[in-house]
């Protein structure tokens, strides 16, 4: 929802089922895809994306450490994530251009995804901190994102500020970064290395997203 939901078609031109298998992605995938798609819609081109996520504990983790298996209490641990690959499936132009990993944190809910990207635009203002935040704030108020993107104005953010917000991605504007690169892209446009922090309630956000998706499918099908 807010990324590619408009592509859903229940039937083809002769009435046969068209989209049969539908995936709603993961909480981290949505926290990545929603702001990336919003910036793409604003005319920003992405050439490479690395991400990490400080993610709440999951059911794949043990409570206590045993032998060489990490426990979830009082420990940060690295973990794999399929969110980068899934995001590229949602936004095909990112295929083979995106990767990342997770860091699990000993909290029950609330996570932050960091997105580091090489980008370009026809106007250098678009890829400054101010320009990026301007486009993300506008997107958070745009009907096209279906309320799946939110904008946080505080200087610092914690899970207290995130948990309870049903958006897929909550942009922590104070953490947006941009470093101008000393070379243009192949079309002569200015480039930059940018960083975006996208918070998300990894329990409430996906639940709200699923309800919206089912409703959207029902409206288009019946």
Residues tagged active-site: 27
142 φ/ψ angles, rounded to the nearest 5 degrees: -90, 130
**121, 111, 116: which is closest to 100 by C-alpha?**
116
Nearest to 149 by CA among 115, 123, 107, 119: 115
Of 19, 29, 65, the residue nearest 49 (C-alpha): 29
Distances (CA, A) of 198 to 110, 117, 213: 11, 14, 21
CA 149, CA 166: separation in Å to the nearest integer?
Answer: 9
């Amino acid at each position: 929802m807010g990324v590619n939901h408009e592509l859903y078609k229940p039937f083809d031109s002769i009435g046969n089922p068209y989209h049969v298998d539908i995936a709603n992605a993961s909480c981290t995938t949505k926290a990545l895809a929603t702001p990336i798609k919003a910036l793409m819609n604003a005319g920003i081109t992405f050439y490479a994306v690395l991400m990490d996520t400080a993610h709440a504990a999951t059911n794949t983790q043990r409570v206590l450490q045993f032998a060489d298996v990490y426990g979830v209490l009082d420990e940060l641990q690295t973990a794999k994530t399929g969110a980068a690959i899934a995001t590229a499936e949602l936004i095909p132009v990112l295929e083979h251009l995106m990767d990342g990993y997770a860091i699990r944190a000993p909290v029950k809910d609330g996570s932050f995804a960091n997105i580091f990207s090489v980008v370009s635009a026809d106007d250098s203002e678009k890829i400054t901190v101010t320009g990026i935040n301007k486009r993300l704030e506008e997107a958070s108020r745009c009907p096209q994102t279906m309320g799946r993107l939110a904008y946080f104005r505080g200087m610092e953010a914690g899970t207290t500020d995130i948990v309870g917000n049903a958006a897929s991605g909550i942009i922590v504007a104070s953490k947006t970064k941009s470093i101008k690169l000393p070379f243009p892209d192949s079309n002569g446009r200015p480039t930059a290395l940018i960083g975006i922090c996208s918070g998300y309630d990894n329990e409430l956000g996906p639940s709200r997203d699923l309800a919206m998706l089912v409703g959207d499918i029902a409206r288009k099908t019946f």
